[in-house]
Amino acid sequence: MTDQTRSQSGSAPALTRRQAYEQRLRRRSITIAAGSTLAVVLAVVLLVPLSRGWDAVKRSFFNGEVFAKTFPGLLDAFLMNVAIFLWCAPIIAVLGLLIALFRDVRSPALYPLRLFGAIYTDVFRGLPVILVIYLIGFGVPGLGLPRPWNSPYIWGSLALILVYAAYVAEVIRSGIDSIHHSQRAAAASLGLSDGDTMRYVVLPQAIRNVAPANMNLFIALQKDVALLSFIGPVEVFRQAGVYKSLLANFTPYVGAAVIFLALTIPATRYADYLMHKQRRRQS
Amino acid sequence: MAKLDLKGVTKSFGDNMVCRGIDLSVDEGEMVCLIGASGSGKSTLLRCINLLEPIDDGCILLDGVDISEPGLDPQPIRARIGIVFQSFNLFPHMTAAENVMLAPRRVLGKSRDALEGPVKTLFERFDLGQRMHHYPDQLSGGQQQRVAIIRALAMAPEIMLFDEITSALDPELVGEVLDVLRQLRSEGMTMILATHEMAFARELADKVCFLDAGRILEEGPPDTLFADPKEPRTRAFLKRVL
Ligand SMILES: Nc1ncnc2c1ncn2[C@@H]1O[C@H](COP(=O)(O)OP(=O)(O)OP(=O)(O)O)[C@@H](O)[C@H]1O
Ligand SMILES: [Mg+2]
């Protein structure tokens, strides 16, 4: 036993022929990839500044001074994006789940729910997000509601919630459809009610299967929060616009882009990783 | 009175009439085997008895009470009749023990604490005490099928239906599942099996029914049916499978 462990961990393990071959191959491809990447970067760095407009672009988009001055303010404004996202996301999750369940009801008395679910998802997936934000964000406060009920924060958020719940509902429904009917049969054969079958057998599996797809939706939502700037709320995109007018410089937009990417790239990568893991498990 | 009595049961899927008037009577503690070619309607018949499929005509009596009455709530009846499928159909997101406890908790209203002891005993009885907290994909096919049997037994059913429960298993795993059936047989469980295991049917069944094109063409004790089939079609089928 001890002999074995020593020989496994102690001495440097000799590579098999296959491993040695794969290592050579891997080193070669890493070298080639690094070389070609370096060539492209060099070309960009050297050639772009040669173009005639580069100085002007650099001054108005990549101005270090403006960037340093406005970035803290943009970060502050981004907290508003985060807040809007945080109060919308749970409502979207719950509403999306409800609509998905509406579309699965079997009893004829509940047929109106089923119909409502179908119309709802068709309508809100069929409209551009910005249009819904305009209609609700300008339309409802136009009714002359008293403060605070005329706030664009409320109605803008509602627009996002309505649209994204439709997408989430559709994703969850596809997850429900993906569960093999033999699972329902097994649950029914044990005497479980339709409701319990859904709650304990179908939904947990369905939601797990579509978690990566839902994550991608919530990443898209995080970006679309910026659309609310068109009806009033001061979030990072709007704040960048304010700085732009103030300083007559576009660098704040680049700052806003940096903030979005810092959040969305890791999140997208993570969703891809989840999706990849799932596909491997299913095959 | 028979425990279970089928009278003239018919069932169609569209134009395809799968059960064409089935009469079958099963006494308490009896083990009945259904044999027949693929597509002869064995699975469909079992699913009808468990009310997973509604029948078109005829009736199914359980203790003399018609359970096939259209409009009857099927849930309490399903809870009294256990079924085990060829493809196990365990819930993959739950451990073996959770699979077994779900229905007793939700349907019989028992608490997790109250179930823990009896469920553990059940697992140990079928030699799975060490596997209780494993997920289905961590179990072999034979172990999964035994968990599926335990899951059905945990509802304390009055009858157990088995639909070719060894057909999806590697040959070396068939034995451990058949042993479970032997054990249930010796404990006096009323059972109906659809099976391709002729040797097993011959060894243990009280009655063997040969299904052909949705009818029970011939039935009798295994010694008679296997040794001296009356119908030419039965003879042809047995010649093919034996
Ligand atoms: N849900 C269904 N919808 C439509 N047709 C079905 C359905 N279930 C079974 N059938 C049909 O009923 C017939 C009998 O099928 P069944 O599964 O009962 O046969 P079986 O005797 O169990 O066969 P096997 O030995 O292959 O399991 C087949 O022709 C099949 O196509
Ligand atoms: Mg079958």
Model pLDDT for residues B68-115, shown as the tens digit of each residue: 998 899 999 999 999 999 999 999 999 999 999 999 999 999 999 999
B18 lines ligand 1 (CB under 6 A): yes
| pLDDT number for residue A12 | 62
Is A169 buried (19+), middle (13-18) or exposed (0-12) by CB count in 10 A? Answer: buried
**Which of B49, B46, B134, B32 lies closest to B90, judged by CA?**
B134
Average pLDDT over residues A243-251: 91
User: Could you report the per-residue pLDDT of B154-174, keeping only the tens digit for each?
Assistant: 999 999 999 999 998 898 889
Token pair recorded at residue A141:
């406060």
Whether residue A49 is preceded by a cis peptide bond, meaning omega within 30 degrees of 0, is no
Q: Is A186 within 8 Å of B75 when comparing Cβ atoms?
A: no
Q: Take atom 22 of ligand 1 and give the residue whose Cα is closest.
A: B43
SS3 B188: coil
Question: A31, exposed or middle or buried, with CB in 10 Å at 0-12, 13-18, 19+?
Answer: exposed
Rg of chain A in Å (alpha carbons): 27
Find the B205 Cα to ligand 1 centroid distance in Å: 24
A182 to B102: CB separation less than 8 angstroms, yes or no:
no
Tell me if chain A has a CB within 8 Å of the CB of B83: yes
- Name the residue in chain A with its Cα closest to that of B75: A191
State yes or no: pLDDT of A4 exceeds 50: no
Q: Hey, which CATH number is domain A63-282, 1.10.1740.10, 3.40.50.300, 1.10.220.10, 1.10.3720.10?
A: 1.10.3720.10
Q: What residues form DSSP beta bridges with B211?
A: B36, B216
Q: Tell me the residues surrounding ligand 2 (ion) with CB < 5 Å.
A: B 43
Place of tokens 């329902």: A184
- For A155, phi and psi rounded to 5 degrees? -75, -30
Angle at A177 between CA B17 and CA B16, to 5 degrees: 5
Does ligand 1 have an atom closer than 6 angstroms to the CB of B195? no
Residue A215 burial (10 A CB sphere; 0-12, 13-18, 19+) = middle
**Inter-chain touch B103–A186, beta carbons under 8 Å:** no
β-sheet bridge partners, residue B210: B35, B218
Extents of the domains making up chain A: 2-50, 63-282
Relative to the alpha carbon of B163, which ligand is closest? 2
* The residue count for chain B: 242
Helix (H, G, I), strand (E, B) or coil at B37: coil
Is the pLDDT assigned to residue A7 strictly greater than 80?
no
Q: What is the pLDDT of residues A182-215, one digit of tens each?
A: 999 999 999 999 999 999 999 999 999 999 899 9
Band the pLDDT of A144: cuts 50, 70, 90.
confident
State which amino acid sits at residue A276.
H
The full DSSP string for A235-247 is -HHHHHHHHHHHH
As given in the structure block, the two tokens for residue A248 are 């007559």
Distance CA A159, CA A157 (A): 5
Yes or no, beta carbons of B75 and A191 under 8 Å apart: yes
The confidence score (pLDDT) of residue A14 equals 82
Q: Exposed, middle or buried: residue A158 (CB in 10 Å: 0-12, 13-18, 19+)? A: middle
pLDDT at A6: 44
Tell me, what's the pLDDT at A282? Answer: 63
pLDDT tens, residue order, chain B (242 aa): 899 999 999 999 999 999 999 999 999 999 999 999 999 999 999 999 999 999 999 999 999 999 999 889 999 999 999 999 999 999 999 999 999 999 999 999 999 999 999 999 999 999 999 999 999 999 999 999 999 999 999 999 999 999 999 998 898 889 989 999 999 999 999 999 999 989 999 999 999 999 999 999 999 999 999 999 999 999 999 999 87
- d(CA B163, ligand 2 centre) in Å: 6
* The pLDDT of residue A146: 81
Nearest one of B230, B215, B226 to B40, comparing CA atoms: B215
B197 C-alpha vs ligand 2 centroid, how far in Å?
Answer: 13
Quick one: which atom of ligand 1 is closest to the CA of B86? Answer: 27
